[in-house]
Amino acid sequence: MRVGRLSDVPRSVLIIEDDPRIRRILQMTLQREGLDAVEADSGETGLERLAERDFDVILLDLMLPGKDGFEVCREIRRTSNVPIIMVTARGDSHDVVAGLEAGADDYVSKPFVAKELSARIRALARRTRAPQPRVRIEVGDLEIAPQDGTVTRAGEPVNLTRTEFKLLCELATEPGRVLSREELLERVWGYDYFGDSRLVDVHVRRLRKKVEEDPGHPTVVTTVRGMGYRVPG
Amino acid sequence: MTATRSRPAAPLPADVEPIAAEPPAERRDRTGPLSTLRGRATLAFTVVTLVLSAALAVAVWVAVSQYLLLQRERSTLIQTSNNAAQVQRALGTEGLTVPQLLAQLPRETGSISLYVDDGQWGTTSLLVGRDDIPTGLAETVVEGTPARQRIGVQGTTMMAVGIPLAGLDQAYFEVFPLDELDRTYRVLATVLTLAVVGMGPLSFTVGWWVTGPALRPLQRIATAAEAIAGGDLSARIDPRGDPSLVPIASSFNRTVTDLEARVRADARFAADVSHELRSPLTAMLGAVDLVEATADRLPPDGREGLALLRSEVHRFERLVADLLEISRADAGNADLVVEEIRLAALVEETLARRRLAGRPTARLEVRATAAEVVIHADKRRLERVLSNLMDNADKHGGGLTAVTVARGEDSACVLVDDDGPGIPPEERARIFDRFARGGGSIRTRTEGAGLGLALVARHVQAMGGTVTVGESPSGGARFVVELPLQALS
């Protein structure tokens, strides 16, 4: 299992987008921001590029000819935890949720502004906030090492994506405190305002599948109805 | 923080009337039950029944009273004739005086016998004497013709029957009281009147009861038509259980299906167009950003052109986004995510976001009863509704002045007031149409895609609520979004 390099500043982005004009514009914009932007015109090409080298962030259009974005996303997730930003049709609720379920970390909707996109990329690539070095957090039989970016359950490593890991860390570093969806959006995804709370909900669902003994009756990350989520202290 | 929440105990400001005082105008029902079709049908039924029963009562009265009188006359005549014959026979034999003879006659209770012989009168009662028998009647009978006449004796009506006897100037009279008959008449009249009067409420009840089921098909058509007028194009008439409804239901349903297909086609076209516009628009936005990064190398007029391009592309983007959203809303409510939302908190959050984004905000008033009110709505849509209304107040209404959260009987309301010149009553319904920018001169000067309020109306409707516009206390416009407290089915 490969993990994208942990760096505060993302260096490389893979753009999987079939529209050549958008691809070109994105590449130029991201390159201006100092990113190494690599283009791929289909899901298949994108997977090939990803097999050749690592990227810090992947930008994935959901509407692709041939292998569609959801399928590509699932395939990337089988081998990598690299942050994925999907590009969806605006307001297509179904696409957003399906894309997140397939393993995407965040999304932008067309038409989007390049600045919005680079803000998303930077936020995703950011390291988790680790207050003290070498701290280990224990929640039940889970052991979280924020510095190393690893989680073990009864000694067995648990494979989380970068975003799932950040989410778990935010909740676990303040056990007992309820974090609202808005707070989590700000801390994990870097949204100042107007975030989509579905991002949080779907990620919590994904996280539970990996860390809970019975995801139907969560004990690690619990829901506080109408308020948010917490890790019981 | 400029947003404040009123404490539960704080009195309401005088300039804000309670929400219950202003229900949406079109919902106000000014019609009484009698102006409905059912009411009119019932009323007609009642009137016809009353007229018929009155006519029947009169006919019964005439027939029965005539018959009773006839019977009475016949029985009095028979008795008088029999008694006259008996008197005739007795007169031929010796032994009995006339008074004794009269006293022995078999007679109906209360009848009085009189006998006249050559001007000499005998009677069985002191109440009736010769003075009570009219001279005309007495003469006719004495002269040999049986006759009868109604007479009045001390205020009561009686029937006098006279039979001439064989001897000269001899006659037998019998006087029958008619008060028994009068009593019967009175009872009959009372019974008939009561029957007619009682028929009114009875026939109204029966009419109401009968017209209900009879008009139910009409009711179902009306319900379906109302749903369609309200925007629910999936409404159909189910003709099952009512064969009389089949023909009209099928033509109605066919029409609505056609209409629905056309509306869907229009919506799909708009959605397709805006969908297709998204990719070039994304490229344009990106390209503008790229050029802008090198703007300082452009000559002044080039920079001005770029600024213009930039603002127009952004306007275009908002327009396409709105168009996409409204056409998606038209295509159905498949993506409606209903959850429990604390309305006051959401409104406060929306205002806070505007503040963060550097947009003007306004005072928030949360009525005591509405502080904790929880509604079932789609959060994204509701946020959109609120921000569109606030944007509208900024762009067209001279600025947002107040936002109020209130609670109605079984609904919660958000009132958004602005400082503009208000919206004339005749434009209030049209303001929610697509690309409607108030007529007149007020709104045409300002920029606006004209889809913001249409989106508001569409979203509010999807959540089962209503949006209306009225006048704010300061004379500006007041938009009222009313949402049901109960979850949508």
Residues 6+ positions from B38 with CB-CB distance below 8 Å: B208, B211, B212, B215
A183 touches chain B (CB under 8 A): no
Structure tokens at B300: 């002044």
Burial class (CB in 10 A: 0-12, 13-18, 19+), B143: exposed
Quote the pLDDT of residue B34. Answer: 64
A114 vs B286: CB contact, 8 Å cut-off?
Answer: yes
Answer whether residue A45 is part of any domain: yes
> Which of A61, A96, A125 is the endpoint of a domain?
A125
Check: CB of residue B364 under 8 Å from CB of residue B417.
no
Residues A94 and A41 in one domain: yes
A28 vs B317: CB contact, 8 Å cut-off?
Answer: no
CATH number at residue A99: 3.40.50.2300
Check: CB of residue A224 under 8 Å from CB of residue A218.
no
Whether ipTM exceeds 0.90: no
pLDDT in tens, B430-486: 888 877 655 544 444 445 547 888 899 989 988 889 999 998 888 889 999 999 987
**For chain A, how big is the Rg over CA atoms in Å?**
17
Among the partner-chain residues A21, A94, A110, the one whose CB lies closest to the CB of B335 is A94
**DSSP H or E stretch at residue B121:** strand B120-123
- Residue B458 amino acid letter: R
Q: For A65, which DSSP code?
A: S
Residues A85 and A144 in one domain: no
Residues A164 and A111 in one domain: no
pLDDT in tens, A39-69: 999 999 999 999 999 898 999 998 888 899 9
Structure tokens at B178: 């008619």
Q: How many residues does chain A have?
A: 233
Distance from CA of B277 to the nearest CA of A (A): 9
For A124, phi then psi, to 5°, come to -70, -35
Average pLDDT over residues B418-422: 87
B428 touches chain A (CB under 8 A): no
B290 vs A29: CB contact, 8 Å cut-off?
Answer: yes
Residues A116 and A85 in one domain: yes
Average pLDDT over residues B189-196: 92
> Which of A125, A150, A169 is the endpoint of a domain?
A125
Q: Tell me which of B180 and B386 has the higher pLDDT.
A: B386
Residues A146 and A207 in one domain: yes
Count of C-beta atoms within a 10 Å radius of residue A116 = 12
Answer whether residue A184 is part of any domain: yes
Residue B2 has pLDDT above 50, yes or no: no
Residues A114 and A150 in one domain: no
A193 vs B353: CB contact, 8 Å cut-off?
Answer: yes
* Residues of chain A positioned with their CB less than 8 A from the CB of B333: none
Quote the pLDDT of residue B51. Answer: 93
Percent share of chain B, pLDDT over 70: 88
**DSSP H or E stretch at residue B374:** strand B374-378
Quote the pLDDT of residue B11. Answer: 40
A32 vs B340: CB contact, 8 Å cut-off?
Answer: no
Residue B399 has pLDDT above 70, yes or no: yes
A90 vs B278: CB contact, 8 Å cut-off?
Answer: yes
Residues A118 and A47 in one domain: yes
Nearest by Cα to B428 from B456, B381, B467: B467
> Which of A125, A152, A183 is the endpoint of a domain?
A125
> Rounded to whole angstroms, how far apart are CA atoms A85 and A104?
6
Is this structure's pTM higher than 0.80?
no
Residues 6+ positions from A73 with CB-CB distance below 8 Å: A60, A84, A86, A99, A102, A103, A104
Which residues of chain A fall below pLDDT 70?
Answer: 1-10, 90-92, 127-134, 192-194
Answer whether residue A6 is part of any domain: no
Residues A149 and A109 in one domain: no
Structure tokens at B436: 């409607």
Check: CB of residue A62 under 8 Å from CB of residue A99.
yes
Domain total in chain A: 2
CATH number at residue A189: 1.10.10.10
Give, to the nearest 10 degrees, the angle between helix B379-396 and helix B343-356.
Answer: 50
Among the partner-chain residues B285, B325, B328, the one whose CB lies closest to the CB of A114 is B285
Residues A158 and A66 in one domain: no
The CATH fold of domain B240-330: Helix Hairpins (1.10.287)
Inter-CA distances, B199 with A214, B59, B128, B204, Å? 73, 16, 45, 8
The structural architecture, per CATH, of the domain B335-484 is 2-Layer Sandwich (3.30)
The domain spans of chain B are 33-218, 240-330, 335-484
**What residues form DSSP beta bridges with A37?**
A13
> Rounded to whole angstroms, how far apart are CA atoms A212 and A17?
35
Which three-class secondary structure state does DSSP give residue B428?
coil
DSSP line for B178-220 = -HHHHHHHHHHHHHHHHHHHHHHHHHHHHHHHHHHHHHHHHHH
Tell me the residue range of the domain where A83 lies: 12-125
* Residues of chain B positioned with their CB less than 8 A from the CB of A115: 289
CATH number of B33-218: 3.30.450.20
